[in-house]
Structure 1
Amino acid sequence: MKSIRSQGRCTATEQLTKFEIEPFLASIAARHSDRDSIVFVCIGSDRSSGDSLGPLIGSMLKERGWKQVIGTLQSPCDAHAEEQAVQAVPKEATIIAIDACLGKPSSIGRFLVAEGPLQPGKAIGRRLPPIGQFSIAGVVNANGPKAYWMLQTTSLYQVMRMARDAVDAIEAAWSKDKEQDKTHDTEWKIPIV
């Protein structure tokens, strides 16, 4: 998995702050400037504070006018819905996958970004299909022997701050395109089975 930081390359383990994530997103926006071609797959659950980073980001993106968002607080894209969500996305779409993760205590509040797919569920030992051409993982808490418990006891304040930071960075990266044609109003929904 390759990661991008500004114009140089970095390892996938490098943690980025809100201000460092903006160049990564700007590099995506430079190659995929049409907002309507971007699909955000925001993975997580609204039933766990630590795992709610993705749905929080998805909800905030929807509030700011992004239409191609899968995974919100109202309609989370969790382990049960992810495969169906991926099938609902057109092949030509550019997918940016977003999820929470656990890491070193010194990494809490930072983001791991990569050009390549995200592997959701890895922190809690689940094997879910990789997703996305680009990935953003927010370190919401420290890794520990009981990953599920660590996600359950994560500070909601911390997660909400990280979600706002990520959405601000996304908005900054595509801000020049925001005023362009808003006639496309495609809404991505997870099929209910």
Structure 2
Amino acid sequence: MKTVAAASEDVFEGVKISGIRTKEELTTALLSIVPGDLTVNDVVFFCVGTDRSTGDSLGPFVGTYLNGLGYGNVIGTIDDPVHAMNMTEKIALLPAGKTVIAIDASLGAAPSVGSLSVYNGSIKPGAGVNKSDLPYVGDYSVSGVVNVCGYQELLVLQNTRLTVVIKMAKDITSALIEVFPLVPTPPTAPASGTLRSAAKEVFA
């Protein structure tokens, strides 16, 4: 793996809500942007990043958490990440007609570290590490500022504190399962309330 794919904090297309610090704020922001009639069956979660860089593992952690909660509509996990070297291949896997929710790490100013942003539009992976040839992705997007930009970005990503990334990944996952709760298939699946209650315990 020669490079990673963190986004730049300000490289996006669409309306942006930034400075989000809690899962409750993130849930509110998502609900204000995502159409109310959009359900989990309408979306695909496209979680960008790599397991080879701590800072850039935000997206894969979210994808892994969602998978573990029973979400099958996920592309990008710790075991099977979406990164700069396979981005085009993974984008080709996106089902036609589905709304894409993109999740990615970003670099930004020091006061922004640990904050989240929601976009009514797409983000551009790789811009934060000068990988400018990757396409914009996502109809709606969530980005987390994991560390500072401006100097040796690849090294900065690789030395990002895992505790920061894990907290942000849990907050993003918690918000996503609130906005897009699973719809169980009777009779084998548990009730949606059971799924959501269990999830809340994990991501509390």
TM-score (norm 1): 0.83
- Paired with 1:135 and 1:156, the residues of 2 have a C-alpha distance of 22
1:53 maps onto 2:53 in alignment: no
Residues of 2 paired with 1:13 and 1:24: CA distance? 7
In structure 2, the partner of 1:2 is: 14
Name stretches of at least 5 consecutive residues in structure 1 with no aligned partner: 4-11, 184-193
- Residue 146 of structure 1 corresponds to 152
Alignment of 1:69-108 (within 5 A): 69-108=74-113
Residue 101 of structure 1 aligns to a residue in which SS? strand
Matched, 1:16 2:28: no
TM-score by length of 2: 0.79
| Post-superposition offset of 1:106 | 1.1
CA distance in 2, matches of 1:93, 1:31: 13
Give the superposition deviation at 1:143: 1.2
- The residue that corresponds to 1:6 in the other structure is none
Aligned sequence identity (%): 34
Whether 1:116 and 2:116 are equivalent positions in the alignment is no
Structure 2: segments with no counterpart, 5+ residues? 1-12, 188-204
- Contact 2:17 / 2:29 at 8 angstroms: preserved in 1? no
> Aligned equivalents of 2:17 and 2:109: distance in 1?
11
SS of aligned partner of 2:151? coil
Structure 1 residues 29, 58: CA separation in 2 closer, same or farther (over 3 Å shift)? farther
- The residue identity in structure 2 corresponding to 1:2 is G
Kindly report the root-mean-square deviation, in angstroms, between the aligned alpha carbons of the 2 structures. Answer: 1.7
Q: CA deviation at 1:112?
A: 1.5
Deviation at 1:16, TM superposition (A): 1.3
Aligned length: 172
Closer, same or farther: CA 93–122 of 1 in aligned 2, 3 Å = same
Q: Aligned equivalents of 2:129 and 2:186: distance in 1?
A: 39
* Segments of 4+ moved more than 3 angstroms: 179-183
Separation (CA, whole Å) in 2 of partners of 1:134 and 1:85: 17
* Partners of 2:109 and 2:117 in 1: CA distance: 12
SS at match of 2:18: coil
Correspondent of 2:166 among 160, 178, 183: 160
Q: Which residue of 1 aligns with 2:141?
A: 135
Q: Please give the secondary structure, in 2, of the residue aligned with 1:30.
A: coil
Q: Give the Cα separation in 1 of the matches to 2:186 and 2:14.
A: 33
